[in-house]
Amino acid sequence: MGNPSGEPPEPDDETERRRRERDTEPIPRTRPDDGPGISDDPDYPSGSSYSDTSGYAYEERRSGTRAWVRDDDDFDRPPQISEDELAGLRVDASGMPTGTRRVLPLEDEPTSLVARYLFPTERYRGEWKRHWVHLATPLLIGIAATFVLGYLSGFLAGQDVGALTSIAVIIWFGVMGWVAWKVADWYYDRFILTNKRVMVVNGIITRRVAMMPLARVTDMKYEQSPLGRALNYGTFVLESAGQEQALREIKHLPNPNELYLRVVEEMYEPQAVEARLGKEADEANDDGA
C-alpha cells in the first residue's frame, strides 16, 4: 500500500549514509596512456593538460580509484639546468662571459684610408666595405656591353665599315672605364665605427665624410630583403631626435646582424667592450711572450 499522505517515507540512517557516500565518491576519468581510474580530485592542477603533471603524484584510494595529489618534495626540488645553459651564464674574474662570442673579433688598427679621419682620443672599433652586391649593376652592364659590342664589332668588320667598328670599340672602352670607376669607388667606400660615432667615408676625387655621434642616435634598425637574407647584407637606418642628419641610410652593409650587435653594444655597454678588448690584448701579449 502506498503512503496515504503522498509524502515520501523518511530514510533511515543506513540509507542516508549510503546515499552520501555515493554522491561524494570521486568520478573516475580515463586517458589513453593510463586507462581508467584518475579521479577529479580538487588538488589536481587546474587548467593543466594530463601530460603536465610535474609536482603531482598518483594516490590510491580505498574505493580502488587513483587521484592526483600534490607532491611537496617535487615542488621543493631545484630546477634542472643543463651544462649548455650554464655555459652561457658563466663569467670570468673580470665579469666577462666565458661562453661563445656573438660578434667577431675586432680589428686592432684602422687602415691608412680611415686613420686620417680619427682624432687621437677616439677608439677605433672597425671598418667595413659595402657588400659585393653593391657592384651588381655595374658588373652586369659591363658583361652585357662586352657581348653586345663584341658581336657588333665582328658584324661591322665583315661589312668593311672600319669607322663604325672603331666607334664600337671606343664605346666598349668607355663602358669598361665606367665599371672600373665604380669598382674603385666601392673599394674606397667605408663604414666606420668608433667608441664615439659612426662614419661613412666615400669618393675618389671628391671625398665625402658623414658622421653621427652615438650619443645622439635615438633609433637604429636594419632591413633585409629576401635576397639580402640569402646573401647576408642589409640596409641600416639611423635616426637622431627627428633632426636632419648627414648620415641616415646606409645600404648594402655586410653581416648586418653582426654589425648591429657591435653598434648596440658600443652604445649601451661601452665598459664591456673595453673590458673585452683589454682581455684580448693581455692574452695576445701572453701568447707573444
**Better-predicted residue by pLDDT, 77 or 44:** 77
Instruction: Say what the pLDDT of residue 40 is.
Output: 47
Instruction: Say what the pLDDT of residue 192 is.
Output: 94
**Which whole number is the average pLDDT over 263-278?**
81
d(CA 239, CA 249): 9
Is there a contact between 197 and 216 (Cβ–Cβ < 8 Å)? no
d(CA 26, CA 260): 60
SS3 for 239? strand
85-140 pLDDT, tens digit per residue, is 555 555 555 455 555 444 455 566 888 889 999 988 898 988 999 999 999 999 99
207-249 pLDDT, tens digit per residue, is 999 999 998 888 888 999 999 999 999 999 988 876 667 788 8
Is there a contact between 241 and 218 (Cβ–Cβ < 8 Å)? yes
Query: Which residues are CB-neighbours of 274 under 8 A, at least 6 positions away?
Result: 123
Is there a contact between 200 and 225 (Cβ–Cβ < 8 Å)? no
Say whether pTM exceeds 0.95: no
Instruction: Say what the pLDDT of residue 219 is.
Output: 86
C-alpha 120: how far from chain center: 34
**Better-predicted residue by pLDDT, 3 or 135:** 135
Please name the residue ranges forming H helices in 12-135. 13-24, 72-76, 83-87, 112-115
Is there a contact between 27 and 40 (Cβ–Cβ < 8 Å)? yes
Say whether pLDDT at 73 is over 60. Answer: no
Say whether pLDDT at 146 is over 50. Answer: yes
Q: In this structure, what C-alpha cell is assigned to residue 248? A: 641616415
